[in-house]
Structure 1
Amino acid sequence: MLKQNLFRLSAISIAMTGFLSPTIALAEESATDEKVVITGSRIRQAQLAGSAPVLTLSRSDLEKTGLTSIADALQKLSTSGAALNTRFNSSGNFGMPSNGGGVGAGGAEVDLRHLGSDRVLVLVDGRRWVGGSSASGVSGAVDLNTVPLAIVDRIEILEDGASSIYGSDAIAGVVNIITRKDVDGWEMNASYGGFGSSIFGLEDGDTTSVELTFGAVGNRHSIVSTFSHTDQNVVFSKDRTYAGFPLFGTGTTRGSSATPSGRFLFTDGGGNTVNTTPVDGASGTLTFPNDFRNFTDDDRFNYSAFNLYVTPSQRTNFFTRAKYDLSNTVSFFTQAMFNNRKSQNQAAPEPIFIGPEAGTGGIADTVSIDVTNPYNPFGVTLDENNFIFAGRRPLEAGPRAYSQDVNTYFITTGLEGTLDFGDKAFYWDSAMSWGVNRATQIKTGALNAARIKKALGPLSDCQADANCVPLNIFGAGSITPDMLDYISFTQKDATENKIQMFNANISGDLFELPAGYAGFAAGYEKRKQSGFFEPDVIAASGDSMGIPASPTNGSVDVEEFYIEAKFPLLSDLPLVEYLELSTAVRRSEYSNSAGIDFDQTTSKVGLLFRPTSELTLRATVSDGFRAPSIGEFFNTGARNDATLTDPCLNTANQTRCDQIWGPMDFVALANLGQTQISIVTGGNPTLEPEESESMTWGAVYSPDWFMNSDTFDSINFELTAYDHEIENAIDAIDAQRQLNECIVNSNDSFCNGIERANGIGITRFDNGLVNLGNIKTSGTDFKLSLYTKELDLGKFGITWRNTFVEEYSEEVLGVSTGDIDGIEFGSNPDRAIPEWKYDLTVDWAKNDWSASTTLRYLSKIYESCSDFLDGTPNSLTALGLCSDPSSVDDSQSINVLDETYYLDFQVSYATELSGLDSVISVGARNVTDEKPPVCTQCDLNGYLPGIYDPEGQYWYLKISLRP
């Protein structure tokens, strides 16, 4: 990785000179002589010093967004990538991700540099936070909905690798949430908002938030306590333009083949494929063929009408922090937090897919419809000899409803103080932390496949069971309450993520150099991370009709040491106002509960150079790592249903398909219409850590001549280039890419684990976790901040933050994707990467009034405009949904998600109400009602919820009160 003798220029800037206050006045940060700990280093230093780029969001910065969660605020930054938020409505109805972390329903995460949420380290007050838990797996990422906005003083975002300082996960960067400490008195904040045409015309998705904070500061003590509650209501997909159907503009043709009337595929006595559905209005006991007709794509079921566009949740939090000075040099501190999240989401009624080609990988694939079933209309038994598959959507059962209940506890207790040796002071701290995230999920509307098998099988077998009720799946409304009672059950899953940690740090000055004292920091950390996932007994046994799940249980013990130093080399010389070298090394030793041990040594070198007082040049080079998560190590098996395009449907690939799987029935394959393919994945206790190499370099320019004018107070230009390379990346191969490489590009190494039954549909797709390849990304950040003096019109400020992604590529088994920034990620479009993002904020304040306006921009994204109906009148190309259609081959058509602009604003007025200082704010997000671009490849809601805002203006009203 990083060679020991490799020293390169270091540094990037922190030049974030503050934002405008959203309340009464503008305020910008300035350099001070006070030494503090800044994220990215454990050495106390001046606030604007440092060799790595750090973005600071103050409490007032967060307040003026009008948002009620930390994750929502961070996801709007130009450096952020697509990450989980409340606009994702999956609870595993499409399966589980390969990393064993579950789908995280109701949670929210942060992604930096598009490298994934599990490659971002989240700290609270400089200490590692407990991983997320949403009752579907053991996540390696932090759920930011476990940390309420009410307790935040500021958030520091290190936009650089930092494993040598903090250990595992700090590959893409570090988010350090600094909590409030010195509060004296009380304050209350309340807000209410929702989607609508104005603050007086809210229609749905309304959110209420209340915060109460109490604090006291004495000569030797301080304490602060916060209570907060946020209630976010639902938005239904059917109430948004693009989300009411599986794909906007295609009707039900991309819907599910499991319909309320039923779809049945089998071969008749002559070997002909029968693809049939009951005629409209057919009821009672049906007969074939009189009560049936041919199934067409127009018969598919619109599952989107049941989906949620914004998922509801209720979050309640209690937080307290206390500090007491035991002496002039030693202080005791403790903080404790409890957070409860109740969240809900739903999906269409659970489909009944049965038969050899059902592709569930479970009992449902073995279900037969026996001739003795009293409702069987076909007069023969449908089994492995003639049955292909059947799909029935039991509207009689109602939607699948998922409810998550997540409790988070975190306690830290420790001592901190100073030690004097001669004229030098050393700062030390030592603390123990314990955190746990426990979640349960209740799913109603679940179906028992084992009971469905018995209820559709030989009548004698069903009659031998006193509880069994023969099942009628033939025709709409045919399933009676008694039938439902027998085949349905309530599913309960549970997860836990736990961290136990001890750490100790010391820092101070060592010896004097020509430019100042050499500083150092050193520390030790010991922690244990553990977790489990306990699926419902029926789901774990494989008897459920839904996604089968296996339990996960494991732990990892970690012991780490680090040392960091900085050396001021030169100062006050011609063209060398200041020159500093910094370095850090960390040793990490891991042992997991499977008996696998490994260790990592990481390092970092930085250089900070100020040729003049106006210009700062900085660069860093570092190596880092990410240890596999509990889910990645110990997940014993999960299934994911991916929406894929089968290349065997393309006539150009049929010779290749015949070579791999033997003679195929391409007519039957087209009739099957297999749009969702079940993928089996699982953890791997022998996974090796990911390793990374990161470089950043850039400049900060703050011209004195500008600041000395009568109009302007300050201006800062910051330019940062970054380059990250990850080796041994842990993942499963992208399923669509694996199919394409196997079939289209004739790469046999990608065909392993893909099986087909009877030469038709895919029946097994093994896709386990491995250290599969490399990830590379590079780009440039540009930031501008400008502030005026107090003018006749008031005080103004401008902040403009840009991120340009120059390259993003992945290499799997020696095959590279090439540069895919600006392009969707195959079967995972939620990770599409815009090449350019920026946010431009203009602030103003005068007397008791203030205002803030932000323009956010995302550049265009390219996607494939192809699916299983290519070559038909219902293809995406034929329907006119492709912005760059191919006139030769529908599979080559392209769609462009146009560049998108969002405009937000907030206006505030400070006044006195009943003797209390108060600030009243009114604001709106997406004032121009910009609709998200239509995505032709997205599974849910027709757009990319990790990248774009939801459709609709969002208005809100806020009030703050304090004595």
Structure 2
Amino acid sequence: MGCDQPTVRPAMFTAFAPDPVRLSGKLSYWRPALLALGLSLNHTPALASDPLATAPIQYNIEAPQLASALIQLSQQSGLSVVFSDQVVRELPAPEVVGTVKTSEALDTLLLGTNLGWELVDDRVIAVFALDCAAALGCPSPREMLDQYPIYVPGLEQTYVYGTHVTGSRIRRPGYSGGAPVDILSSPDIELSGAQTLGELLKFVPAVSGNANSTAISNGGDGTATVTLRGLPASNTLVLINGRRVANDGLAGESVDLNSIPPAAVERIEILKDGASAIYGSDAIAGVVNVIMKRDFYGFLAEAYYGQAEQGDLETSTQTLQYGTGLPEGSFFISASLYNQEPLYSRDRDVSASADTRPLGGTDQRSSATPNARVTLPGGPTLIADGAGYRQAGDEDLFNYQDYTTAVVPLERRSLYSNASYDFNESITGFVELSHLETEAASTLAPTPVFTAFEQSDLAVAADNLYNPFGVELVDVRRRLLEFPERRQRNESEVTRFSAVVEGLFADWNWDVAYNWSRSEATEVTTSIVNADRLARAIGPADNCLGLAIDGCIAVDLVGASGSITPEQARYISTTGKVSGYSKLYGTAMNFSRALAGMPAGRTDLAFGVEYRREATSKKPSALLASTSTIGATNFEATGGDRNVMELYLETIVPLWKSADGLRSLDVEAALRMSDYSDFGTTTNPKLALRWQASPSILLRGNYAQGFRAPSLNELYEGNTEEQAFINDPCTQVVNVDTLPGCSRQADPTRNQFLVLKGGNADLKSETSDSYSLGIVLTPVEIPGLAFSMDYFSVEQEDVVSSSAQFIVNQNAFTGAFDDRVARDDMGNLTLVTASNLNIGQREVRGMDLAFTWHLPGRRWGQFTISGSGSWIWEYLARLDRTAPELDLAGTFRDEASEGLGGIPEWKSQLGMRWQRERWSASYQLHFISDMEEIIPDSRQTREIDSWIVHDVQLNYSASFLDGLRLTLGIDNLLDEEAPLATSAFNDNIDGRMHELRGRYWYTRINQRF
């Protein structure tokens, strides 16, 4: 590499995309790459004044290419390494495995390359070409770094100048901003053993509430979402490489995490603060930014297999990856196949029965029994027994959990690829393309029929062929065991494409980007009932004379199990199908630069404009659209689109800096204006302060306004039919003739009622105010220790809600919403109409804690101890401004009962890692505090026990075959059973917070060439 004509790679390089640096005398695009990834908490060991003179460190460097090997050295040593990517491009690297000094590891890696290295700072190593370093006029690494320092330690993540950290559009080195960011790096993902992003994020302390996953069978659709701070998934913005992507294809309101292949993920950055000023809508609770792999050299083949100790939930993953440097760029491709077998509710003690009284719970079995349950007009309730009828007893109920899947079987096929190309020394292009297909298949109990409570008009006619009572029967309940189990099959295809061109012009960094994504999904439910045919089959005899006569077959709905013949079952059975898509495409232009010469240091500025178009459609089959099925969700078609134009401005201004440069005060400010074609314009600001009080004390504070635009589904959703859990005040004797809406006592044995929900085109956006205040400590007295504590507060207004419970309560207590609440002559609820309204309010307050301690390496190995926790001490929620305020911190109420799920006061993790020569191991403890269960059909509460799970993993890098790595892991080592949640709609546990699977072991083998 000669000095007169530098051949150094510009804008986009292997790991990051830093800004160019002006060198002495001439403009050169020297592209340094800082390779200390992940939390600086996890990569900042104790260092002496000369880190290369410390005791040897355990290294396990197995990358076939030098660039990747230097990345691994940086990660394992905690030192920053800078180099020109083009200088090391295509160079191979030897293996470095064992306990050696960092200087020895560097010498081994650079042997025979004509490259040298120099320690130019306490924690910065520069790698450079020897001929250029010796030539007259070339700056040495020390001179280059003196002119433009690149290393700044911080809690969040340490970057070279020019990289983006989630929560800011400004390129900045090692800058920890006004809000905390958790980072799950590639080693973190590997040590978790997780094979889906939903599984990986489940135990993150900041995650609580109603996240969806394959552990949610009844009411789930095979997708997975993330919920920060207990707020709905629609309040957490999910990005891929910092850019928006389409939501779930069935008119979803958030991104399906199952549509992102973990094998191609480099790291996940979790911003735990409002960020609408930076990213726009949806970032009220925070942002999850998934960064895909780019810096990968060589070929990798990996196989994973795991299963629960009881022999079910077999899971396998096969992955192939290839990456290489090109003369003017790079190329990477990853393909993986994932398969997860089911776990059935009946195969675990806590979930085997809906009757949990033996476990200290309640009886949630269904009154739709295989033997028909018939309520005579004004008379008793009888049950068929094959020889006639008898009085129905308290135990004449049906355990539907004999049939249901607790964890849904899932298959995922994914392909991800990216490439970069250097057009010249100042312009680089980058493209990425991914395609993923998923298939999920849940099993539900055979279809139940409640004639009195379906939307279709169902009654067994007095003269029906099979009616032995001679009177019209309005309330007949029957579980159709003559049908096979219901099967719900969900399939999706997600395709994403993006292209970015970026470069440098007159000290301005610029980029122009286009991104396109489309998610298509279908849902097919089999063995459900055609309600129109059933109404005719149980209606008047002269309207159903036989298949050959009038095309109708009478059905014996009032008999004992088995009374419905195969011919009758075929006549009334049907299949429901839903198809839909979500699409998003847009363009963006971004500009940024550093303004030097300011009294307190450089000022950073970024601004840009973004345009996107969003569209969604969800179409049911004809019977579902006409509310003519039983056993599936009936709804009308949904469709809508909109255009969004946004402008933003962001700056970081230094207010003060001490003479020695060790103390400083900076202010961050941002403003974003968003114009939506459907609901209007909104402007959201952000202001943050960052005070480096001393080299070991950092104070930070943040204020941000946020908003969430109503989703296309919330705006334009067609009427949707569901059976919702509702606590009807009119079932209580004390309220009859006392409350305006309760003239008769309703049936106290029912807690599930027909509800119609739908969109509202007049919705306005949800708004929020977020505050945070934190401290970061890196005490010099305890080398290698970093600790952070951050207070947070989120206040949310105009929350979109479709609450049948709210409408029923208001109708009972005040007589309001008479047009939305329908009751029969017996006082029973028959229909509640609950369309979307801006009526809710929430206030969430708590604290995040985190620490990491890197112990000095010893002859017995290197240890790292880390922990994090989230404390929610207050979660105030109300359905509307007139409703009472409820504190949900430390409580559980199931989503099926219009609850926000489990919101534990404490959720935390504690981990330890050890590495010595070719061996490494990890231990992880997950803790979820106890919760008070709010039982919807009573005034009672009960305690859900706290839960502690221990995970361990052992790794060995084989000496007999280069690049071979073996892994053995056990999750839930002590086989801790999930605590009982008696009101949970799925499996008697909070499946979003706890796990049903029990002890689970897995193995992984990968070979890298």
CA distance in 2, matches of 1:955, 1:500: 41
| Pairwise CA distance, 1:908 | 0.7
Superposed displacement of residue 695, structure 1: 0.8
In structure 2, give the amino acid aligned to 1:818.
Answer: L
Deviations 1:197-251 (A, max 9, x none): xxxxx60001001111101112311010000111000001000111111242369
What CA distance in whole angstroms lies between the structure 2 residues aligned with 1:23 and 1:807?
A: 45
Counterpart for residue 885 of structure 2: 817
The 5-angstrom pairing of residues 102-113 of structure 1 reads 103=220, 105-113=221-229
Residue number in structure 2 paired with 1:378: 469
3-state SS of the aligned residue for 2:349? coil
Displacement of 1:470 in angstroms is 1.2
Would the aligned equivalents of 1:22 and 1:60 in 2 still touch at CA under 8 Å?
A: no
Partner residue of 1:492 out of 577, 580, 584: 577
Structure 1 letter corresponding to 2:555: L
Q: Deviation of residue 843 (structure 1)? A: 0.9
- Maintained 8 Å contact 2:606/2:651: yes
Contact 2:627 2:721 in 1 (8 A): no
Contact 1:616 1:701 in 2 (8 A): yes
In the alignment, residue 232 of structure 2 is paired with which amino acid?
G
Paired residue secondary structure (2:424): coil
**Within the alignment, does 1:766 sit opposite 2:833 as a pair?**
yes
The code of the aligned residue for 1:468 comes to C
Deviations 1:510-554 (A, max 9, x none): 342122211111111110111011011111112212332110000
Aligned to 1:66: 193
In 2, Cα distance between the equivalents of 1:14 and 1:476? 61
Q: Which amino acid aligns with 1:17?
A: N
Q: Is the 8 A contact 1:252 1:300 kept in 2?
A: no
Indicate how the Cα distance of structure 1 residues 750 and 948 shifts in structure 2: closer, same or farther if over 3 A, else same. farther
Would you say the 8 A contact 2:585–2:614 is kept in 1? yes
The number of aligned residues is: 860
Aligned pair partner of 1:940 in 980, 986, 991: 986
Cα-Cα RMSD: 2.2
1:6-17 to 2 correspondences below 5 Å: 16-17=41-42
Q: Assess, with a 3 A threshold, how the Cα gap between structure 1 residues 159 and 28 changes in structure 2: closer, same or farther.
A: farther
Task: Give me the TM-score of the superposition, normalised by structure 2.
Answer: 0.82
Matched, 1:660 2:741: yes
CA contact (8 A) 2:953 2:968 kept: yes
Q: CA deviation at 1:71?
A: 1.6
Higher relative contact order (CA 8 A, sep 6+): 1
Q: What are the residue-to-residue correspondences of 1:716-865 with 2, within 5 Å?
A: 716-733=786-803, 735-736=804-805, 739=808, 743=812, 746-749=813-816, 753-811=820-878, 812-825=880-893, 827-829=897-899, 831-864=901-934
Mapped contact 2:789–2:849 kept (Cα < 8 A): yes
Q: Residue 72 of structure 1: SS of its match in structure 2?
A: helix
Return the match for 1:212 from 302, 305, 320: 320
Q: Answer yes or no: is 1:46 the counterpart of 2:173.
A: yes
Of the structure 1 ranges 920-929 and 241-250, higher mean CA displacement relative to structure 2 is found in 241-250
Match of residue 257 from structure 2? 144
Where do residues 698-713 of structure 1 align in structure 2 (5 Å cutoff)?
698-707=774-783
Offset, 1:736? 4.3
The Cα of 1:647 is off from its aligned counterpart by: 2.9
CA distance in 1 between counterparts of 2:628 and 2:59 reads 55
The answer to whether the Cα contact below 8 Å between 2:953 and 2:970 also exists between their aligned partners in 1 is: yes
State how far apart, in whole Å, the 1-side matches of 2:983 and 2:818 are.
23
State whether structure 2 residue 298 is matched by structure 1 residue 185.
yes
On the 8 A contact 1:75/1:111 being kept in 2, the answer is no
Distance 1:19 1:641 in 2: 53
After superposition, residues 69-218 of structure 1 pair within 5 angstroms as: 69-82=196-209, 83-91=211-219, 103=220, 105-133=221-249, 137-196=250-309, 203-218=311-326
Counterpart-to-counterpart distance in 2, 1:820 and 1:273: 42
Amino acid at match of 1:85: S
In structure 2, C-alpha distance between the alignment counterparts of 1:18 and 1:116, rounded to whole Å: 33
Cα distance in structure 2, aligned partners of 1:477 and 1:19: 69
Whole-Å separation in 2 of the counterparts to 1:232 and 1:42: 38
User: Once the two structures are superposed, what CA deviation does each residue of 1:693-724 show, in whole Å capped at 9, x if it has no partner?
Assistant: 111111101012322xxxxxx11010101011
**Residue identity opposite 1:219 in structure 2:** P
Matched, 1:328 2:425: yes
C-alpha separation in 1, matches of 2:466 and 2:886? 55
Question: Out of 373, 376, 383, which is 1:263 matched to?
Answer: 373
Same amino acid, percent of matched pairs: 29
Deviation for aligned residue 1:367: 2.1
CA 1:30/1:660 → structure 2, altered by over 3 Å: closer, same or farther? farther
Distance 1:755 1:466, change over 3 A: closer
- Where 2:663 maps in the other structure, the secondary structure is strand
Q: Deviations over 1:550-600 (max 9, x none)?
A: 1000012100010111112221248971111110111100013xxxx4001
Q: How many Å apart are 1:816 and its aligned residue?
A: 3.4
CA distance in 2, matches of 1:477, 1:110: 44
1:391 aligns with 2:391: no
Q: Which of 935, 939, 948 is matched with 1:901 structurally?
A: 948
Deviation at 1:266, TM superposition (A): 2.3
Distance 2:77 2:223 in 1: 33
Structure 2 distance, partners of 1:855, 1:728, is 38
After TM superposition, list the pairs within 5 Å mapping 1:481-880 onto structure 2.
481-546=566-631, 547-573=633-659, 577-592=663-678, 597-657=679-739, 659-662=740-743, 664=744, 669-670=747-748, 673-707=749-783, 714-733=784-803, 735-736=804-805, 739=808, 743=812, 746-749=813-816, 753-811=820-878, 812-825=880-893, 827-829=897-899, 831-864=901-934, 867=937
Shift in alpha-carbon separation, 1:22–1:853, aligned structure 2, 3 A: farther
SS at match of 2:781: helix
Report 1:224-263 matches (<5 A).
Answer: 224-249=332-357, 253-263=363-373
Aligned residue for 1:467? 551
CA distance in 2, matches of 1:297, 1:566: 68
CA distance in 2, matches of 1:820, 1:371: 50
Offset at residue 51 of structure 1 (A): 2.1
Long gaps (5+) in structure 2: 1-37, 46-57, 62-71, 81-149, 152-159
Structure 1 pair 807–752 and aligned structure 2 pair: CA distance change class (3 A): farther
Change (3 A) 1:79 1:173: same
Q: Distance in 2 between matches of 1:183 and 1:571?
A: 39
Equivalent positions of 1:237-386 (< 5 A) are: 237-249=345-357, 253-267=363-377, 272-279=378-385, 281-282=386-387, 291-354=388-451, 358-360=452-454, 362-363=455-456, 366-380=457-471, 382=472
Structure 1 position 690, deviation (Å): 0.6
State the AA in 2 paired with 1:112: L
Change in Cα spacing, 1:830 to 1:193, as seen in structure 2 (3 Å) is farther
For structure 1, the residue ranges without an aligned partner over 5 or more in a row are 1-12, 92-102, 197-201, 283-290, 708-713, 868-890
Change (3 A) 1:892 1:554: closer
Provide the secondary structure at the position in 1 that maps to 2:730. helix
Q: Give the deviation of 1:656 after TM superposition.
A: 2.5
- Paired with 1:948 and 1:859, the residues of 2 have a C-alpha distance of 11
Looking at structure 2, the residues matched to 15 and 119 of structure 1 have their Cα atoms a distance apart, in angstroms, of 28
The superposition leaves residues 288-343 of structure 1 with CA deviations (integer Å, 9 ceiling, x where unpaired) of: xxx11011231111111111111100000001101111111111221100000000
Residue aligned with 2:222, SS:
coil
Deviations 1:412-465 (A, max 9, x none): 12311111x2xxx32211111111100111111011011011111222222275
Looking at structure 2, the residues matched to 938 and 818 of structure 1 have their Cα atoms a distance apart, in angstroms, of 20
Q: Say if 1:555 and 1:630, in contact at 8 Å, map to a contact too.
A: yes
Distance 1:637 1:484 in 2: 28
Q: 1:910 to 1:750 in 2, by over 3 A?
A: farther
Find the residue that maps to 2:365 and give its secondary structure: coil
Indicate conservation of the 8 Å contact 1:830/1:945, yes or no. Answer: no
Instruction: Output the CA distance in 2 between the equivalents of 1:892 and 1:490.
Output: 39
Asked whether the 8 Å contact 2:977–2:996 carries over to 1, the reply is: yes
